[in-house]
Amino acid sequence: MIPTAQALAEITVRLKQAGIEAPRREARLLLAFALGTNAAGLLARDEVDPGCYAQALERRAAREPLAYITGHKEFWGLDFMTSPATLIPRPDTETLVEAVLESGLKPRAILDLGTGTGCLLLACLHEFPDAFGVGVDLNPDATRLARDNARHLGLAKRAAFLAGHWAGALDHPFDLVLSNPPYIESADLHALMPEVAGYEPASALDGGDDGLAAYRAIIGELPRILAPDGLAVLELGAGQAISVAALARQAGFDYVPRRDLSGMERAITLKFCK
């Protein structure tokens, strides 16, 4: 056994050497996970056994994302289970939920394309208790995880998840269509940070030669699946607002980009032109 403060210091040094950002914060989170406690419980521990966190530390030092090690990630104040079958929910993606709430739309039918963990769909169902939602993902393992998250959050009765290619199997109009699609240019995948390039699924990242393949597919489906007064909200990659806006305009949609907290145009909302 060693003092908890010593364990935190040693974990912090190891994570810093591995190139982890905010190593002290991650050390606290990792040690709390290894001990099966939270921040308050960690403060109450005087000593710890280094063996309890050794494996988790090795994994994180190898740049495996902490959310895959712990199996959980918070999004919109909700606890989501994670797995390597899906992208890890990110705070920037909350910009899409904010855009929906600020639009004034009260959706009854919601569609999430490329649902992953289900975080976007389930966050919106949490906000709109009268709504029903459908999440679609090409990876069956992702749809299983999203279904588990719906049960975990008490939303299973208002959500369904399908394995498929975008909206190809659907013909029902939806009031709200959401998507965080793959948008990284294929040639840039290798340059992503190690946690992303080495562990997160390439199929959820690779947007084709110009990063716009998924946008073309989704926007091409919107005239068929979006209700006449509905709203589509899509996440954007850096510098993609102009290109995605052009695709939207060509398909007959008005559009409004929305910036995230860093000032980047992170989302775009689409409506049929009046």
Q: Could you give the 3-state DSSP secondary structure of residue 28?
A: helix
CA 146 to chain centroid = 11
What's the average model confidence in pLDDT over 91-108? 97
pLDDT attached to residue 128? 98
Mean pLDDT of the chain: 95
> Contact 31/42 with Cβ under 8 angstroms?
yes
In this structure, whether the domain defined by 73-272 belongs to CATH 3.20.20.70 is answered with no
Angle, in degrees to the nearest 10, between helices 241-250 and 213-225:
40
Return phi, psi of residue 155, to 5°. Answer: -115, 10
| Cβ atoms within 10 Å, residue 106 | 10
Instruction: Report the alpha-carbon distance of residue 81 to residue 162 in Å, rounded.
Output: 18
> Contact 218/181 with Cβ under 8 angstroms?
yes
> Contact 167/226 with Cβ under 8 angstroms?
no
> Which sequence spans correspond to the domains of the chain?
2-62, 73-272
What's the average model confidence in pLDDT over 54-62? 97
Return phi, psi of residue 87, to 5°. Answer: -65, 155
Joined together, the tokens standing for residue 5 give: 């403060």
Do 2-62 and 73-272 show the same overall fold?
no
DSSP 144-176: HHHHHHHHHTT-GGGEEEEESSTTTT--S-EEE
> Contact 57/30 with Cβ under 8 angstroms?
yes
Q: How confident is the model at residue 1 (pLDDT cuts 50, 70, 90)?
A: confident
Q: How confident is the model at residue 38 (pLDDT cuts 50, 70, 90)?
A: confident
pLDDT attached to residue 46? 83
Angle at 75 between CA 71 and CA 80, to 5 degrees: 35
- For 2-62, which CATH superfamily applies? Ubiquitin-associated (UBA) domain (1.10.8.10)
pLDDT attached to residue 273? 87
The letter for the amino acid at 97 is V
Instruction: Report the alpha-carbon distance of residue 111 to residue 131 in Å, rounded.
Output: 11
Q: Per residue in 173-218, pLDDT tens?
A: 999 999 999 999 999 999 999 999 999 999 999 999 999 999 999 9
Q: Which of 101, 91, 85, 237 is nearest to 161 (CA)?
A: 85
Q: Per residue in 3-14, pLDDT tens?
A: 899 999 999 999
Instruction: Report the alpha-carbon distance of residue 263 to residue 126 in Å, rounded.
Output: 26
Q: Per residue in 131-183, pLDDT tens?
A: 999 999 999 999 999 999 999 999 999 999 999 999 988 988 999 999 999 99
Q: Per residue in 223-258, pLDDT tens?
A: 999 999 999 999 999 999 999 999 999 999 999 999
Q: Could you give the 3-state DSSP secondary structure of residue 21?
A: coil
pLDDT attached to residue 45? 84
Q: How confident is the model at residue 74 (pLDDT cuts 50, 70, 90)?
A: very high
Furthest-apart CA atoms within the chain: distance in Å = 69
Angle, in degrees to the nearest 10, between helices 119-127 and 94-103:
30
